[in-house]
Chain A
Amino acid sequence: MMETLTRTASLLRRHLLDLDDWTPEELRSLLDDTARMRAHLDGGERLSTLAGRVLVTLFYENSTRTRVSFELAAKKLGADVVNVTASASSVTKGESLRDTVRTLQALGANIIVVRSSQSGAPDLIARAIDGAVVNAGDGWHAHPSQALLDLFTLERHLGSVAGRRIAILGDILHSRVARSNVWSLTAMGAEVVLCGPATLLPPAAADLYAARPVPGTGEPRRVVVEPRIERALEGADAVMALRIQKERMQAGLLPSLREYARTYGLNRERLALARPGALVMHPGPMNEGVEIAADVAAGPSSVIEEQVTNGVATRMAILTQLAGVLTRREAEWR
């Protein structure tokens, strides 16, 4: 969900908070920009789109790939990058999130990339500062840059995702990756199957998506919630396995990792239920042998490493679009 300067046109969002109200046209524009960025990356070029801009990565949760990915993307675009992690920040001294980001703004930050265990933290920051906010994952809510890089990766292999069936396996309830992927994939016409043990499926998901057709086109979103894995995988063009966290066992949501691996782990036999050559994806970090078998993760149809590479290009595209809006807004202020 986001503040837009105008609803219909793309390239006009102030922040990247969520993908629930993105139109297919906006997604297409971002995919096009991502393809351009990927070409720049492959060509080893450096750009200066963000020259003179200060980008702060503010990470309240541990993350290697997402933080490094944003940092690289920003540097390739010429930004000054400052990394702030929770342990090193005043959060441990009890400073509120609002005060922290106001301070970062006063220090000259134009773009804040935030990762938080609290759903909605990026929304709070967006209301507190004048610059741009990028949600790099908040609680169980959203991880839009991950979903955008997943979409880009899928399209590179499948062509359009329209009419395709994408299965997401595992802990959907606690997954911001699954939530964001549902919005972007269904907006582009794919059918998404959410599959996991019933204790790890989100409440009222069918009602939620039924009530929110695709913005711009009004098309219904095609989402299936299916706890039976054999049915979920049937005819799937791609399968995305999600990380299972040990805390879920401690909270009693699952009997054991062993049983999970046996009943929902993505192994070769299960993958054979999907379409031949179905893509294998994982947002990382993986628990090999639990949600995904090592030979599947390293198998011929795995695009897991490519996801990581595409992540940098996707984030370059995101930052480029946001910088454009920021520059225009600054011109209006003057």
Chain B
Amino acid sequence: MSEARNASGAVVLRGTRIIDPAQRLDAPGTVVIENERVVAIGAGPEVEAAVARVTATGAEVVDLPERWVLAPGFVDLHAHLREPGFEGKETILTGAAAAARGGFTTICCMPNTQPVLDSVDTLAYVLDRARTAPARVRPIAAITKGEGGHELSEMAELVAAGAVAFSDDGRPVESSRMMRLALQYAGPLGVPVVEHCQDEELVSGGVMHEGATSTLLGLKGWPAAGEDVMLARDLALVRLTGARYHAAHLSTAGAVGLIREAKRSDLPVTAEVTPHHLLLTDAWVAGERTGPLAEALAALGLPVPPGERYDTNTKVNPPLRTAADCEALLEGLADGTIDAIATDHAPHTWVDKNSEYGEAAFGISGFETALASLLALTHTGKLALSTLIAALTARPAQAWGLDAGTLKPGALADLVIFDPEEDWMVDPERFASKGRNTPLAGLTLRGRVRQTWLGGRRVYDAATE
């Protein structure tokens, strides 16, 4: 067969269940790809006609097992790729490879690099490094210059250069006046301002959630109120300015309530939650595996061995909270209060984490375990699979107006194929990410990404690992 025979790079993916919440599609079917885009999806005579047409010109036909699931590639609104400046922790290429391994095809990277992504030049650098990456990298620029909290970054130019949102993530915008100005200025630019909700004084020096476990371990805790206070302030400013606002990584029941109420009042707010805040509790810091993930794995008959005390891989900002918070977050996800599941992928080196708990860096390497850990909720009936997929695809894309998250005809053929039933053990040594910092190391999870496709091209295949 000559190369010219399939010049359009046509691919037929068939035989498996397709879930595309943007099209309210959940049925066995076929996806037909040509010139990097979806040309037909589902079942029926139109799809059959498209299949016949492309196979006649030599399309690659991939038959997939019936029990697998094909979905739009996941959209992550919150990731740290560490480049420029912290290439020891991660690079754009290793981060994107980890994203592909986790089924993510669009990843929004946070600006707390060195230098901070607060100028057109650094943004251009990131986009250039991402050209050959196996995931689409969409940069988030800093709200304030150097994330210093004092002067607005050149927001209009940054949006023109490709910034999809603004955030000083890693820290909040402490000054209420500055936050107000950021919202006012960014509003007409059509991109959201993303806040890391945290009252710095209330949480200062804290290394974990304040509660029984922090008392047990003698670690300085930070109260849930530290998040709620800042979110409440921000919502008052959203009411004042009418600007688009997005709350990063909700971790408290109080924050879920505040977002729910704000949405009822039609404020232009959206919110995300991470897999670890949905699934893990502060007791994990003491090596005691309680909460939704541990319960679900036990219910599935998978082993849940105890962890270690002071495991620095459980140190994350905001901190792992209580089972009641996990429950409230899950409820918020199920009822639509929370728009997106975002990983807050935060890779670190071994040295950054191999220290006393108080000294260790905050963050979890999240891309490669996100789907499998979340599937524990669907396997045990706590969350509908369609709701989970929507929160990883259509809803985050819609929240920020990104051209992603669906496989409608005409859309880019970015997709994930996973086996929901495959058991595998989390071995950080096999991560594509440089960050091996995961509290899930050694656990067996159910559900594994088999393939990830970007623009009609396979960028990850578990079969060839």
Tell whether A and B belong to one assembly: yes
A interface residues (Cβ-Cβ under 8 A, vs B): 1, 20, 96-98, 116, 118-121, 123-124, 127, 138-142, 176, 179, 202-205, 207-208, 211
If A119-B310, A120-B309, A120-B310 touch, does A203 touch B356 (CB 8 Å cutoff)? no
Chain A residues with CB below 8 A from B215, complex form: 179, 202-205, 208
Chain B residues with CB below 8 A from A204, complex form: 210-212, 215
The reply to whether B212 and A118 form a contact with Cβ atoms under 8 Å apart is no
The reply to whether B216 and A97 form a contact with Cβ atoms under 8 Å apart is no
Chain B residues with CB below 8 A from A123, complex form: 308-310
Chain A residues with CB below 8 A from B354, complex form: 96, 98
B interface residues (Cβ-Cβ under 8 A, vs A): 210-221, 223, 286-287, 308-310, 351, 354-359
The reply to whether B351 and A120 form a contact with Cβ atoms under 8 Å apart is no
If A123-B310, A204-B211, A207-B212 touch, does A141 touch B355 (CB 8 Å cutoff)? no
With beta carbons under 8 angstroms apart, the residue of A1, A118, A211 that contacts B357 is: A118
5 pairs of A and B residues whose beta carbons are closest in the complex: A141-B218, A120-B310, A140-B218, A118-B356, A208-B212
A21 to chain B, nearest CB (A): 11
Chain B residues with CB below 8 A from A127, complex form: 308
If A203-B211, A204-B212 touch, does A142 touch B218 (CB 8 Å cutoff)? yes
CA distance A214 to B100 in the complex (A): 48
Whose C-beta in chain B lies nearest to the C-beta of A179? Answer: B218
Chain B residues with CB below 8 A from A179, complex form: 215, 218
- Please list 20 pairs of residues, one from A and one from B, whose beta carbons are closer than 8 Å in the complex, sorted by A's number: A98-B354, A116-B356, A119-B219, A119-B356, A120-B357, A120-B358, A123-B308, A124-B310, A127-B308, A141-B219, A176-B218, A203-B211, A203-B215, A203-B221, A204-B210, A204-B212, A204-B215, A205-B212, A205-B215, A207-B212
Whose C-beta in chain B lies nearest to the C-beta of A125? Answer: B356
The reply to whether A119 and B218 form a contact with Cβ atoms under 8 Å apart is yes
Chain B residues with CB below 8 A from A208, complex form: 212-213, 215-216
CA distance A119 to B221 in the complex (A): 12
If A20-B216, A118-B358, A119-B358 touch, does A1 touch B309 (CB 8 Å cutoff)? yes
Whose C-beta in chain B lies nearest to the C-beta of A118? Answer: B356
The reply to whether B357 and A119 form a contact with Cβ atoms under 8 Å apart is yes
B282 to chain A, nearest CB (A): 10
Chain B residues with CB below 8 A from A96, complex form: 351, 354-355
Chain A residues with CB below 8 A from B217, complex form: 119-120, 141
Chain A residues with CB below 8 A from B308, complex form: 123, 127
The reply to whether B357 and A203 form a contact with Cβ atoms under 8 Å apart is no
Chain B residues with CB below 8 A from A121, complex form: 356
B211 to chain A, nearest CB (A): 5
CA distance A217 to B212 in the complex (A): 22
CA distance A142 to B213 in the complex (A): 14
Chain B residues with CB below 8 A from A118, complex form: 356-359
CA distance A202 to B223 in the complex (A): 12
CA distance A207 to B283 in the complex (A): 13
Chain A residues with CB below 8 A from B357, complex form: 118-120
Other A-B contacts than A141-B217, A142-B218, A208-B216, 17 sampled, CB-CB below 8 A, are A96-B354, A98-B354, A119-B218, A119-B219, A119-B357, A120-B356, A121-B356, A123-B308, A124-B310, A127-B308, A179-B218, A202-B215, A203-B212, A205-B215, A207-B211, A208-B212, A211-B212
CA distance A207 to B286 in the complex (A): 15
If A1-B309, A120-B309, A123-B309 touch, does A139 touch B218 (CB 8 Å cutoff)? yes
CA distance A264 to B414 in the complex (A): 66
Chain B residues with CB below 8 A from A139, complex form: 218-219, 358
With beta carbons under 8 angstroms apart, the residue of A20, A124, A205 that contacts B356 is: A124
Chain A residues with CB below 8 A from B220, complex form: 140
Whose C-beta in chain B lies nearest to the C-beta of A201? Answer: B215
Chain A residues with CB below 8 A from B358, complex form: 118-120, 139
B47 to chain A, nearest CB (A): 56
Whose C-beta in chain A lies nearest to the C-beta of B213? Answer: A208
CA distance A48 to B210 in the complex (A): 46
CA distance A246 to B220 in the complex (A): 18
Chain B residues with CB below 8 A from A124, complex form: 310, 355-356
Max chain A CB contacts within 10 Å: which of B213, B219, B310?
A: B310
A221 to chain B, nearest CB (A): 13
CA distance A141 to B218 in the complex (A): 4
Chain B residues with CB below 8 A from A1, complex form: 286-287, 309
A213 to chain B, nearest CB (A): 14
Whose C-beta in chain B lies nearest to the C-beta of A206? Answer: B212
CA distance A136 to B212 in the complex (A): 23
Whose C-beta in chain B lies nearest to the C-beta of A20? Answer: B216
Whose C-beta in chain A lies nearest to the C-beta of B204? Answer: A251
Whose C-beta in chain B lies nearest to the C-beta of A120? Answer: B310
Whose C-beta in chain A lies nearest to the C-beta of B210? Answer: A203
Chain A residues with CB below 8 A from B309, complex form: 1, 120, 123
CA distance A208 to B212 in the complex (A): 5
Chain A residues with CB below 8 A from B212, complex form: 203-205, 207-208, 211
B362 to chain A, nearest CB (A): 16
Max chain B CB contacts within 10 Å: which of A97, A98, A124, A208?
A: A124
CA distance A333 to B215 in the complex (A): 38
Chain B residues with CB below 8 A from A138, complex form: 218
A196 to chain B, nearest CB (A): 14
CA distance A138 to B217 in the complex (A): 10
If A97-B355, A121-B356, A123-B308 touch, does A140 touch B219 (CB 8 Å cutoff)? yes
A245 to chain B, nearest CB (A): 15
B322 to chain A, nearest CB (A): 10
CA distance A31 to B221 in the complex (A): 34
B321 to chain A, nearest CB (A): 12
Whose C-beta in chain B lies nearest to the C-beta of A117? Answer: B358
Whose C-beta in chain A lies nearest to the C-beta of B287? Answer: A1
CA distance A264 to B237 in the complex (A): 44
Whose C-beta in chain A lies nearest to the C-beta of B285? Answer: A120
B268 to chain A, nearest CB (A): 36
CA distance A97 to B355 in the complex (A): 7
The reply to whether B218 and A97 form a contact with Cβ atoms under 8 Å apart is no
A7 to chain B, nearest CB (A): 13
Max chain A CB contacts within 10 Å: which of B210, B214, B215, B354?
A: B215
CA distance A139 to B354 in the complex (A): 18
If A118-B356, A119-B358, A123-B310 touch, does A203 touch B218 (CB 8 Å cutoff)? no
The reply to whether A203 and B214 form a contact with Cβ atoms under 8 Å apart is yes
Chain B residues with CB below 8 A from A202, complex form: 215
B324 to chain A, nearest CB (A): 12
CA distance A141 to B286 in the complex (A): 12
B200 to chain A, nearest CB (A): 15
Whose C-beta in chain A lies nearest to the C-beta of B223? Answer: A203
Whose C-beta in chain B lies nearest to the C-beta of A98? Answer: B354
Chain A residues with CB below 8 A from B216, complex form: 20, 208
A59 to chain B, nearest CB (A): 15
